[in-house]
Amino acid sequence: DIQMTQSPASLSASLGETVTIECRASEDIYNGLAWYQQKPGKSPQLLIYNANSLHTGVPSRFSGSGSGTQYSLKINSLQSEDVASYFCQQYYNYPLTFGSGTKLEIK
């Protein structure tokens, strides 16, 4: 199975700041990576797929990048509604696997 190592586990930032979340795969996943946002008490929602493609309706302050085994999610101009947990997921190979999540809070 492909292991997804996500960091940091938690993050506190101020409104308007830029934050970056990292995800490392245990082997090359050839950009088969998605990012999800999960707000408290809600289900996960797709943000990014194919490592850098923005899902329909997702604000442009979210962006994804990376290749090979290293990927990142960047949130520009942090807003209060961005308080959530964020998960990466690889879909290059089965079984699908997820990162352990990053909990983002506002300082």
> Which range in 23-31, 61-69, 70-78, 92-100 contacts another protein by CB under 8 A?
92-100
Confirm or reject binding of residue 101 to another protein (CB under 8 A).
Answer: yes
- If one asks whether residue 98 binds another protein (CB under 8 A), the answer comes out as yes
**Binding track over 51-70 against another protein, x by CB under 8 A:** ----x---------------
Window of 21-29, 59-67, 75-83, 84-92 that interacts with another protein by CB under 8 A = 84-92
The token duo for 66 is 């990376």
Residue/partner pairs of 36-40 with CB below 8 Å, 24 or more apart: 36/86, 36/87, 36/88, 36/89, 37/82, 37/84, 37/85, 37/86, 38/84, 38/85, 38/86, 38/87, 38/101, 39/83, 39/84, 40/83, 40/84
Interface residues toward another protein, by CB under 8 A = 32, 34, 36, 42-46, 49-50, 55, 87, 89, 91, 94-101
